[in-house]
Chain A
Amino acid sequence: MTKLTRRSMLGAMGAAAAASAFSAIPAWAADRSIRHFWWGNPERDKRTFAVIDVFQKANPAIEVSGETIGWGDYWTKMATQTAGRNMADLVQMDYRFLFEYVRRGALLPLDEHIGKSLMIADFDQGPLEGGKVDGKLYALNIGSNSQVMVHNTRVFQEAGIDADLINWTWDDFAKACETITAKTNGAVKGSDDLSLMIETFESWVRQNGREFYDADGKVTATVDDVASYWQFWADLREKGAVRDADKTVILDPPIAESGIAVGDTAMSHYWSNQLVGIQAVAKDKIGAAMVPHKAGGKPGQFIKPSMFMSLSRDAKDTDAAMAYMNAWVNDPETTAILGLERGIPCSPKVRAALAPNLTEVEKMSVDYFEAIQSRVGPLPLPAPKGAGEVRDAFMRVGTDVVLGNAQAADAATAFIEEAQSIVERAQ
Chain B
Amino acid sequence: MRRFFARNAPAYVFLLPWLIGFFLLALGPILASLYLSFTRYDMVNVPEWVGLDNYVYMFTRDRRFWKALDVTFTYVALAVPARLIMALGVAMLLDKGLRTIGLYRAIFYLPSLLGASIAIAILWRQLFAADGVVNQIMATFGIQGASWITNPNTSLYTLVILAMWQFGSPMLIFLAGLRGIPRDLYEAAEIDGTPRWRQFTRITLPLLAVIFFNLVLQTIDAFKTFSSAFIISNGTGAPADSLLFYTVYLFNEAFKFFRMGYASALAWVLLIIIAVFTAVAFFTSKYWVHYENERD
Write the residues of chain A forming the contact surface with B, with a CB cutoff of 8 angstroms.
72-73, 75-76, 79-80, 82-83, 104-106, 244, 246-247, 249-252, 386, 388-389, 392, 395-397, 399-400, 403, 405, 421, 426
Contact = CB atoms under 8 A, between A and B. Distances in A.
B256 A388 contact: yes
Contacts of B240: 249, 396-397, 399-400, 403, 405
Q: Which of B151, B235, B258 has the most CB of A within 10 A?
A: B258
Given A83-B255, A251-B238, A399-B238, A405 B45 contact: no
Contacts of A426: 257
Interface string B78-102: 0000000000000000000000000
B74 interface: no
Range of interface residues on chain B?
Answer: 20 to 34
Contacts of A251: 234, 236, 238
A216 B257 CA distance: 20
B248 to A, nearest CB: 12
Q: Which of B150, B152, B234 has the most CB of A within 10 A?
A: B150
Q: Which 8 A-B pairs have the closest CB atoms?
A: A246-B147, A83-B43, A104-B44, A399-B240, A246-B150, A246-B130, A249-B150, A400-B240
A79 B239 contact: no
A246 B44 contact: no
Contacts of B44: 82-83, 104-106
Given A392-B236, A399-B152, A399-B239, 12 more contacts: A75-B256, A82-B43, A83-B260, A104-B42, A104-B45, A105-B44, A246-B151, A388-B256, A396-B236, A403-B151, A403-B240, A426-B257
B139 to A, nearest CB: 16
Given A82-B43, A105-B44, A400 B152 contact: yes
A421 B256 CA distance: 17
Interface of A is mostly: helix
Nearest to A386: B257
7 contacts: A82-B43, A104-B42, A250-B150, A389-B257, A396-B237, A396-B238, A399-B239
A396 B61 CA distance: 18
Nearest to B251: A76
A80 B255 contact: yes
A239 B239 CA distance: 23
Nearest to A392: B236
A72 B235 contact: yes
Given A76-B256, A400-B152, A249 B239 contact: yes
Contacts of B151: 246, 403
B234 A79 contact: no
Contacts of A405: 152, 240
A271 B170 CA distance: 51
Nearest to A253: B234
Contacts of B234: 72, 250-252
A52 to B, nearest CB: 28
A426 B259 CA distance: 9
A75 B255 CA distance: 9
Interface in B181-222: none
Contact of B239 (A82, A106, A252, A403): A403
A397 B152 CA distance: 12
